[in-house]
């Protein structure tokens, strides 16, 4: 079975991004990342479970902290698992970013540009640093990209649905106009 070249290149970009993040996963968190890890996530998983344990100083990133904290229920204090969770979120963001680019610049003539934009996004120093330095900014970026991609998919599904509905009604009207019993 022949794999499209585009999927191979996208897979290589995601593999390169993953390799870069995993090779730097032993980085100890500094500043805000340390505060998120030591003051918010670890104490939250040591208490009896409540989603509200992850409300760190009234910050609206409770779901992001909860997602980072899921792995800490298994092995509290394991930084690698938090980096791996952030890596998974980063890969989801890459896929969502590519879907958004595909919606904005559809067509085969823009394939090279879309792949170049994905490459530049994946290895942009701010994206790499925020993937390693877990803070609410990265969580917001991931969730915004995922939300936009889901909205775009919903728009496309609605377009297909209403197009099929319209064509069905038009066809039904044509059949009724010929006095044909259906």
Q: What is the DSSP string of 127-182?
A: HHHHHHS--HHHHHHHHHHHHHHHHHHHHHHHHHHHHHHHHHHHHHHHHHHTT---
Domain parsing of the chain, residue ranges: 5-149
- pTM for this model (two decimals): 0.81
Q: Please give the average pLDDT of every successive group of 10 residues along the chain, which has 182 residues.
A: 75 94 82 79 85 78 85 86 91 94 87 92 91 85 93 88 80 58 52
pLDDT for residue 181 = 55
């Amino acid at each position: 079975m022949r794999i499209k070249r585009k999927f191979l290149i996208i897979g290589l970009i995601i593999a390169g991004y993953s390799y870069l993040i995993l090779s730097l996963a032993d980085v100890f968190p500094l500043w805000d990342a340390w505060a998120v890890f030591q003051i918010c996530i670890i104490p939250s998983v040591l208490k009896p479970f409540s989603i509200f344990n992850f409300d760190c100083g009234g910050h609206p990133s409770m779901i992001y902290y909860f997602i980072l904290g899921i792995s800490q229920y298994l092995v509290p204090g394991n930084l690698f698992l938090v980096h791996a969770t952030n890596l998974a979120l980063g890969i989801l963001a890459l896929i969502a970013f590519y879907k958004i680019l595909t919606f904005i610049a559809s067509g085969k003539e823009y394939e090279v540009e879309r792949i170049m934009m994905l490459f530049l996004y994946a290895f942009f120093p701010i994206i790499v640093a925020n993937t390693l330095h877990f803070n609410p900014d990265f969580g917001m970026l991931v969730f915004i990209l995922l939300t936009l991609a889901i909205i775009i998919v919903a728009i496309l599904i609605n377009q297909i649905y209403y197009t099929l509905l319209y064509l069905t009604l038009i066809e039904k009207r044509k059949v009724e106009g010929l006095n044909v019993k259906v």
